[in-house]
Amino acid sequence: MNLNKAMIIGNLTRDPEVKSTPNGASVASFSVATNFIWTDTSGQKQEKAEYHNIVAWRKLADIIGQYLKKGSKVYIEGRLQTRDWTGQDGVKRYRTEIVADNMIMLDRAGTAPSAGNWNPKPAASSDIPTIQQDAPINNSESDSDEIKLEDIPF
């Protein structure tokens, strides 16, 4: 059995960039910063930021491009993927990214972070929309608490 799963909560470091492939599929790319905090051997609190490259496709990419911006707090779930290519200088390059298949916006609805003065308040769990990429379409009524992409009114 194999497992390739990544889950992060952090803040966007730049506005998402949304493009279309030649066949018309939307793709969004952006970066999310997470912080790792620990106490070193001398008892001093240490902190290190980690930056994660994120890629989202199709409807999820469109929603990300429309509703997220630099500073937005998000939960991203997906799989790790490493791409490689040869640069113009002939050197082989690598890029590891999270291919998102689920995103939860953690900012309160209707609030926007302002540059340099962003202090989000935790949202109630009932206020947090869950968006899943390629969720199976279910045309029948269901007792499930999962919110499907097709059910989101925006």
Q: What does the alpha-carbon distance between residue 104 and residue 63 come to, in Å, rounded to a whole number?
A: 11
Per-residue b/e over 104-124, b at no fewer than 16 CB within 10 Å?
A: bbbbeeeeebeeeeeeeeebe
Which residue from 100, 99, 104 is spatially nearest to 130, judged by alpha carbons?
A: 104
Q: Residue 145 falls within a domain, yes or no?
A: yes
pLDDT of residue 136: 38
Q: Report the C-alpha dihedral over residues 140, 141, 144, 149, rounded to 10 degrees.
A: 60
Q: Residue 112 falls within a domain, yes or no?
A: yes
Predicted confidence band of residue 32 (pLDDT cuts 50, 70, 90)? very high
Average pLDDT score over residue span 115-129: 41
Residue 117's domain spans which residues?
6-37+48-151
Domain of 98, CATH number, reads: 2.40.50.140
Q: What is the mean pLDDT of the chain?
A: 79
Query: 61, 28 in Cβ contact below 8 A?
Result: yes
Q: Residue 18 falls within a domain, yes or no?
A: yes
Number of domains observed in the structure of the chain: 1
Predicted confidence band of residue 107 (pLDDT cuts 50, 70, 90)? confident
Cα 67 to Cα 20, 21, 28, 61, 97: the distances in Å are: 18, 21, 12, 10, 21
Q: Residue 43 falls within a domain, yes or no?
A: no
Q: Residue 111 falls within a domain, yes or no?
A: yes
131 alpha-carbon distance from chain centroid: 11
pLDDT of residue 116: 39
